[in-house]
Amino acid sequence: MKKYTYPSVLTIAGFDGSGGAGIQADIKTFSALGCYATSVLTALPVQNTQGVRKIYPIPMGAVADQIETVLDDIVPMAIKIGMVHTPELVEVIVNTLNRYPKIPVVFDPVMVATSGHRLIEEETITTIVEKLFPIAEIITPNMDEAAILANMEVKTLEDMKTAGRIILKSGCKNILLKGGHQETSRITSLLLSENGEVTLFETEKFITNNTHGSGCTLSSAIAAFLARGEDLENAVTRAQEYVFEAIKSGKDVVTGKGNGPLDHFFNPNKSIKYEMV
């Protein structure tokens, strides 16, 4: 009898008990896109759709043990990394993943809350740039995060292009600079590559509060499509199409009292790839 397996994807990220972001959003995304989800918990925020109330840390040894245990058994075809809030956590993740240099890493550099408040200190950002950027196949900052990384104001499309080129010089290979904070009727995001290529992606912008976890979902979708064998540009393209449809489908759904999630399972994927074992 033939046996099959889903392409597996590992998420290394924080918890979201409300189910819209973090590891929960990642697992939903991987599953919706035909991948097998594994996960490593880096922090335990206590939150709901209205915000974060408290964050309980996870011991660094526990993070390292989780990564090593999963990778010893189920080697992923792609890895997504979410918020890393301390230099020590960056070091633990990078040191552990260095044993698996061929696995593509998608890093979502979560640095700024929806309210505009910075979530991590300068020392952590420096360590991320020095240690985590070089092992990532692509990073996915939004405009606020790009402003921090490039040390400049990022308000316009031209600002985004300039900031993206500055960030590329810091050692990352590719950047998807998300334009969701643009005050326009349409959103333009940029894919900038180390070879100098710039690809623009334009989509409709919906009026909705249900975008909680959209950044987590996008980076996870890119990882899922990479795991399924897509090249980077196609993975980015298909991931953005997925997020667009998930926001569109969930824009009028009421979940909780605050910012609601996307509809991750709006349409079961019809082209799941399996690998024979």
φ, ψ dihedrals at 257, nearest 5°:
-105, -5
Structural contact between residues 204 and 180, judged by C-beta atoms closer than 8 angstroms: no
Non-local (6+) Cβ contacts of 240 within 8 A are 189, 201, 203, 218, 221
Q: Are 16 and 222 in contact (CB under 8 A)?
A: no
Distance CA 242, CA 163 (A): 26
- CATH architecture designation of domain 4-276: 3-Layer(aba) Sandwich (3.40)
pLDDT at position 114, please? 59
**Number of residues that this document lists for the chain:** 277
Q: What does the alpha-carbon distance between residue 17 and residue 44 come to, in Å, rounded to a whole number? A: 9
Q: What is the mean pLDDT of residues 210-214?
A: 90
What are the residue ranges spanned by the domains of the chain? 4-276
Identify the band that residue 82 occupies on the pLDDT scale cut at 50, 70 and 90.
very high
In this prediction, residue 277 carries a pLDDT of 40
Give per-residue pLDDT as tens, 56-75.
889 999 999 999 999 999 99
**Structural tokens at position 249:** 């489908």
Mean pLDDT of the chain: 90
Give me 86's structure tokens: 């301390």
* Model pTM score: 0.93
Quote the CA–CA distance of 101 and 73 in Å, as a whole number.
Answer: 17
**pLDDT band per the 50, 70, 90 thresholds, residue 273:** very low
DSSP states along 171-194: T-SEEEEB-TT-SSSEEEEEEEET
Report the C-alpha gap between 116 and 128 in whole angstroms.
20
